[in-house]
Structure 1
């Protein structure tokens, strides 16, 4: 009798567990993973070793970001603003483009820091890979590249420092999006700036990826 009661209790517990969403699913969003966004790259390189003091010398821009707010890396897929209404320049002032205009109460402000962030090598024709864990879809993507001659290691980035190099239409909900970008005339260090307008609501992501055109 006791064994039967225990079995029924276990079954009820399992049924209850089945009604609880997995932890973190409500906050799951996305970001550019290649060329890696600043905070995704810091999480990818140091997430398993983020307390290592060697980071200060080996990867100083990531070091200052981890010191400022580790949640900016753990939540690398949550850099967005709601209710922008397409007015990107009004909601994301110059000098704050990489933090999405102090998104999430300033959690990502360290991403605006000027310095030699680690870069991804790309060619003039490259592909942006964006991971969308929640399958939000996209109304559009805007892809910018910093103007030739602009040095992101010495100057904060503003909208006037960007060239629009790609503008897409809608993408159906998926977890992986690929945006093919064709450019010319760029060499050396740049920032690729991706604006992703999600489809599920008025929610926009602002993503800085440091690159080296080879």
Structure 2
């Protein structure tokens, strides 16, 4: 997994810069916002994955059959993908479960005026293959750093394709200390005893202010 991540990083970094530059050239109103924050890029968060696969081809009707969950997300609000790095809540005060209700975890409690609501949709989201031991890789464009990460994985028996995600469906598999500001942070996790489609739910408490990112990544334990 580490070798794949190291060889993949320059491609998505350069692609991110290229598409963000293109967005600014076309005076897209949310381009400045999109350049400011971060997300989990491996295993890809739901909206980063949709942007990575379809950002330069998002009007292609083939998406409806090939990637139906991304299709519904693009139809609901394209800004969720263009702002793949802006899914956060401010002033949470550590009360994650109080701020983010069951069924709304992947949208951060319908944050940002509901921009990310499509990420809570139940269905066959595209997955990243992982083993029992894998790494969660944050790309932090603004180098906010982290007070901590809390990384959860759904329990065996939960079906993301047919059930909304709730707190009781998650098991905490890693809680970290602080990380110094950096654009690339990887956290090693272990989630044995699982097979098939699961959700990795990452809470990233940024260090620059009380700003928390809630990020769902779909994985396939093989």
TM-score when normalising by structure 1: 0.88
Alignment of 1:86-101 (within 5 A): 86-101=94-109
Which of 178, 187, 190 aligns to 1:179? It is 187
Matched residue count: 192
Matches of 1:42 and 1:171, distance apart in 2: 28
Q: Kindly tell me: are residues 162 and 26 of structure 1, through their superposed partners in 2, closer, same or farther at Cα, counting changes over 3 Å?
A: closer
Q: Tell me the equivalent position of 2:63.
A: 55
Alignment of 1:11-160 (within 5 A): 24=32, 28-160=36-168
Q: Kindly tell me: are residues 164 and 106 of structure 1, through their superposed partners in 2, closer, same or farther at Cα, counting changes over 3 Å?
A: same
Q: Which has the larger radius of gyration?
A: 1
Unmatched 5+ stretches in structure 2:
1-30
For 1:154-197, what per-residue CA distance to the aligned partner results, in whole angstroms no more than 9, with x for missing partners? 01000000000000000000000000002211111100000000
For 1:121-167, what per-residue CA distance to the aligned partner results, in whole angstroms no more than 9, with x for missing partners? 00000001100000000000000000000001001000000000000
- Structure 1 stretches of 4+ moved >4 Å: none
TM-score when normalising by structure 2: 0.85
Unmatched 5+ stretches in structure 1:
1-22
Matches of 1:50 and 1:182, distance apart in 2: 34
TM-superposed deviation, 1:27: 5.2
